[in-house]
Amino acid sequence: DVQLVESGGGSMQAGGSLRLSCAVSGDIDDRYCLAWFRQVPGKRREGVAAIDEEGHPAYADSEKGRATISKDKAKTTLYLDMRSAKYEDSAMYYCAGDPRLFYRGCTTAIEGTGELFDDWGQGTQVTVS
């Protein structure tokens, strides 16, 4: 069983920066794919960023240059650093993980709506005004 718990959301002004965190625990190994998704009510869930087992990141086009995904060496915490926040970044942000996605299988999984990921956190709300 895997637990993903997000934190760090809140309200912020456009142009600002924030860091989201996701505490990862449970039965995982080194080849665990981790990603961030977000969703606005009434719209489809979209991928933001992913990081594979070797630490290679991938970003949605809308986030390239503005977001950085990372994980600590112990691989127990996933981060998403966002800069130059826009109103359009307002959404519920979810941490997602899956043990079956490796390398490009992991980094390309954010192109979908998260259907390839088995494990999800409860989400943390980000509001940009």
pLDDT tens per residue, range 14-52: 999 999 999 999 988 777 899 999 999 999 999 999 999
CA distance 56 to 54: 6
DSSP 46: E
Question: Which tokens is 39 given?
Answer: 């969703």
Q: Is 64 exposed, middle or buried (0-12, 13-18, 19+ CB in 10 A)?
A: exposed
CA distance 76 to 60: 23
pLDDT tens per residue, range 85-114: 999 999 999 999 999 998 889 999 999 999
Span 63-71, mean pLDDT? 93
